[in-house]
Amino acid sequence: MLFENKTAVITGCARGIGAACAAAFRREGARVAFLDQSFQAEESREGEEALRLRCDISDEGEVQAAMARIEATQVWKGMPVTNLNNSTSNFSSLDEAARIMSGVIGAHPQEISLHFSRIVWTDPGKVVEAILLLRRLRPELHLEVTDPYNFFIFSASVMQCTDRPVSGLRARKRLSYGSCGLRRVLAATCLVLALFGGGGVARAQSVRRGQIQGCPPGRFIILNGVEPTEQAFREIDSVFGERNGPVALGVGCIISYLNLSAAAARERLEKYLRLSRRFRMPLVIQLDGEQWWGGRPDLWNWWDSSRPGYAPANKRNVEWTGWTPDSAVRIGWRNWGRQLRVLPMPNLASPAYRKACHEALARLVPLIVQWGQALPPAERYLWVGVKVGWESAIGVNNWYYPGGNRLARLPESGDPRSGLTLDSLPSRGVETIGYAAVKTWGIAAGGRLTEADLTEVVHRHLEDLSAVCAGLGVPRAKLFTHAGGWAAGETLYTAALNPYACPGWSFYTHAGDPREDTTAMRALSKSDAPYWGAVEWLYGGNTLEGWKEALVRTLSVPRIRYLCIYNWSGIRNAPAAINAIRTLLADAGTGKSILPSGKARRTRGRNDNFAPQDAEVFGNE
C-alpha cells in the first residue's frame, strides 16, 4: 500500500471530491484525519478508524488547533483546494487565476511543496495558458505539473524519502457533461510541484530523476526469460547500464511448480532472489501451475499403467469433452512459436489439483515475502510483483483436436495443423473442453457448455490462487493475475479481476497501443486495483521509432505497473528494441516526458490520460 503507516490530513472532505480522495487514501493504507467546517466539533463513526475534526481552513487558529490533535511525526499536511471556476466568476482573467495560484503557493524556502489547483474552463486551452502565466509570474520556482496517478506515486515516494514538511493535495483530470444539453466542460486539474531556495533547481532535477535517496521507480520494463545465472544478469547490466530511474528495467522469472520437484522449484526461486539483490535488478516472479505440470503424473496419468503416477481416478484431474469422466482427454496441443504436443488440460476445479497448487504456493510464497520484507527501504522496489496464472483459459494454450486420444497413439507428424479459431466460442474451432471443471465446481451439470461457464471457471481459478498468495502475505499492489483473452468482446478478460490482485493481460496484436484492445480496457475500467500489468507483451515491429512509440504508449496507460517483454532471447539481437529501451530509460531518468508524441497520442474523443475508473476513485461531482 502506498501510504501504509502514514497519516493523511484531508481538508474539505465532507462530500464530493474531498470525500472520494479521503476514501482513496484509506484504501492505500493511510490513517486519515478528516477536516471540514461542516463537522460538529470532533466526530467519530462506528467501525471507522479515522479522526473527524471541525476546521475552517481560513481560520489560522482552528488550523493550528486541529493539527495539534494529530500525531506530528506522521502528518500529511493538507491544504485547501484552489477552485478556479470561470462559470462562477471567482476570477476575471487568466492573469488573476495565475496570481491566485501564486498566492496559494506562497514562499517556503528550502521546502518541497505539492500544491493543487482545480481549474474549470469551457476552453481546455485556457488551463495551459494559466500554467504558463504562473511560470512567468514565479520564475524563481521550478514548477512541475503531473497527473493524478503519478501524484499518488510521487507523493508517497517523497514521504518515504524526506523528513522535510511536504504539503500536498488532490488531483484529477476528467471530462464531464452538464445536465443542460450537451455542453462539454473540461474539469482539468493541475498539480504544481514547487521547489524553493538556492538549491531549488538542483533539487528539482533530483526529484525528476527519482534520485531522492530511497525513492522507488513507478513503472517497470521487465525482460522475461533471463536465466538465473551471474552471466545472464551481468549481460543485462552491460547492455543497458543505468536502469533504475522513474522507469526501471528488471527481469521476469517463471517457476512452474508442478513441473519441477519441490527442491528444484525452491532452488530456482532462491537463485533469482539472490541475483536480484546482488545486481539491483527488479524482479517479477511468475508462479505457474497450469501450463507445465509434467512433474505430477500422480495427478494426470490415468491411461498408462507402465508409467509413474498411474491411477484411473486421475480422469477427474484432467479435462473432459463431455459431462462424464469417460470423456477424459490424455493429450493437448499448444502453439508457442510452433505446434507442440502437451499433457492434457488440467481440471482447474479438481480438489487434488487445487491442493497441489496450494501446497506449492505455501512453500514458495513465504520465501518471496520474507525476501521482500528483508530488503532495506532503498531497495524495496526490487520486488515488483508475483504473478499467478499464465494466459489462464480453457482450450487455447491447451486445446484438444477431435479424436485427440486416438491421435496420441500415432506419430506426431500426422497431427492436424489447423482448425484453432480464437473467436469461435466456446469451442475455439476445435473440440470443446471444460466440462470437468464446470461440473466439479457445480456451475452446470448438463446441456450446452457456454462461454460464461468457462469464464467463471477461470475467474474462480485465479481468484483462489490470488487469495492464497494474499493470505501468505503478498500485498495487492504486488500481486498480479494473467487471464487469457483473444477475441474482441469475449468475457474471459474479466476473469483477471478479483479483490486480492491487480489484473494483467497479454498484448501482442495491440502491443503498439494497448488502448486499441478495447476489450481489455473495458475490463480494466471495472478494476479497483491500484495497478494493472501488460504482463506478457511483445511489439512486432522492427524500427527504433516503432519500438519507442509502443513502449511509451503502453507505459502511459493509467495505473500500469509494468510491461513484460516476451522474451529476452527474442530481442537481445534486435538493435531497434534494445535502443528503444535504452532511450526510454534515459529520457525518464533525465526528467524528459515519456508521454506519447502528438502523432502517437490518439484521443478518441476523450483525454488519453483519463480512464473511467478515475471518476470512481476521485468521486463524481
Q: How many CB atoms lie within 10 A of CB 192?
A: 25
pLDDT digits (tens, 9 = 90+) for 464-478: 999 999 999 999 999
**Domain ends where: 180, 215, 250?**
215
The per-residue pLDDT for 38 is 76
Share of the chain above pLDDT 90, in %: 54
Is residue 616 a part of any domain in this protein?
no
Considering only residues 69 and 23, tell me which one the structure prediction assigns the higher pLDDT: 23
The per-residue pLDDT for 526 is 94
Hey, which residues does 52 pair with through a beta bridge?
34, 43
pTM of the model: 0.68
189 shares a domain with 278: no
209 shares a domain with 177: yes
Radius of gyration of the chain (CA): 27
Q: Which of 243, 144, 249, 250 is nearest to 589 (CA)?
A: 243
Range of the domain at 142: 80-215
The per-residue pLDDT for 99 is 77
131 shares a domain with 273: no
Q: What is the mean pLDDT of residues 160-168?
A: 40
Least confident of 102-116, 217-231, 392-406: 102-116
Is residue 139 a part of any domain in this protein?
yes
**Which of 65-79, 121-135, 415-429: highest mean pLDDT?**
415-429
Is residue 228 a part of any domain in this protein?
yes
Please state, in angstroms and rounded to a whole number, the distance separating the CA atoms of residues 295 and 460.
24
Q: Which of 139, 145, 83 is nearest to 114 (CA)?
A: 145
Considering only residues 100 and 2, tell me which one the structure prediction assigns the higher pLDDT: 100
Assign residue 524 the CATH number of its domain: 3.20.20.80
391 shares a domain with 258: yes
**Domain ends where: 170, 198, 215?**
215
The per-residue pLDDT for 586 is 86
- Which residues neighbour 511 within 8 Å (Cβ) at sequence distance 6 or greater? 534, 537, 538, 539, 540, 550, 554
User: Which residue's C-alpha cell is 462539454?
Assistant: 184
Residue type, 219: R
160 shares a domain with 48: no
**Residue 420 in grid coordinates:** 484453432
Least confident of 55-59, 100-104, 214-218, 235-239: 214-218
Q: What is the mean pLDDT of residues 284-299?
A: 97
Considering only residues 410 and 136, tell me which one the structure prediction assigns the higher pLDDT: 410
pLDDT digits (tens, 9 = 90+) for 496-544: 999 999 999 999 999 999 999 999 999 999 999 999 999 999 999 999 9
> How many structural domains does the chain have?
3
**Residue 261 in grid coordinates:** 520437484
